[in-house]
Structure 1
Amino acid sequence: MKKLIAGVVLGVGLTAIAHGAGNPEAGEANAQVCAGCHGAGGAEPIAPNYPKLSGLGEKYLHQQLVLIKEQERMIPSMTGLLNNNSDQDLQDLAAYFDSQSMPIGQADPDLVDQGEALYRGGNMASGVPACAGCHSPDGSGIEAAGYPRLSGQSAEYVAAQLKAYRVGERDAGQNASIMMDVAAKLTDQEIEAVSSYASGLN
């Protein structure tokens, strides 16, 4: 039993190392093309429906870059942009963007109470779990699990992704099924409220 536990601990440790192997300095050199849509450091996108990339989590970012490159996650504006990048290049990009600071937005005061209730407690009546369970109480995400940071993300982007999960348009990646199940139980009003709350969470 002790050997089994040691093996699991070692395996988790090696996985963490493998997903923390990006070089932020190398990633910065390749990130200039990303700035055209996501802004310098991935922190200030040119449109609110584009995601902030800064501080999202290296593992999550790497997973999404791989899915986009392999066209498992279809984003028309990114088609072909990553074709010449090796997996190490993608790791480096993920490490660079994760090392940048995420600017916090301002939640709509009229939606804060409902958004906070959903984020922290979910909706027991409809079976919606608390967002904080996977994305952490402060919205910083859980790096080891590949759960991204939500704190500071654009409300418009979060809402668009929840709706995409809800209708099955975003179905790529190991955690997509979790989000599809959650989003299927959310109303438009709940999506608006929790997305707004997340944008101002700090």
Structure 2
Amino acid sequence: MQNLILASSSPRRKELLETLRLSFAISSSEVDESFNPNLSPEEVVMELAERKAQAIFKENPDAFVIGSDTVVVADNRILGKPADEAEAFSMLKTLSGKQHDVFTGVSIMSPKSSTRFYEKTEVWFWELTDEEIRAYVKSGEPLDKAGAYGIQQLGSMLVKKIHGDYFAVVGLPVAKTVRELKRLGYELPY
């Protein structure tokens, strides 16, 4: 039996992997999430995903390990997780009525090989009033999410439309991840 490990404590990534009916363990470690500001968003998410996967793979060299990272990019600025409610409000104000990009990077390490890739999805927000933003921030949902929103929960009310992979916005591009696992030799149960 092949061992599959999700190198993430994200409940959203766990739920996405569970929809595939794969047997996997969860193991995450604290990694340095700082990055070189000269890197492109694509490079940032792939580098951070690789750091997460590598930290777990070192302890589990016989496993398939999936690491992932997501950032929101608006006005050529990377928006990570907000530090507090004021920063969440500011981020959402920036996204209001505009298009932004969500980049999710994935790194998969296995005993024989490894790969990394990213998905970019364009997201458009409705024009939001300050009251709508404050109410959403008060829900607490934005505080642990890149760009201060979760498309799969209350944040879905903010989104006008998307172009690209919905699941990448949630935190893991499912179809591409499965294809890459298979390419690296992981045997799917179906």
- Under TM normalisation by the shorter chain, which class is it? under 0.3
Larger helix proportion of the pair? 1
With the length of structure 1 as denominator, give the TM-score of the two structures. Answer: 0.26
Q: Structure 1 or 2: larger strand share?
A: 2
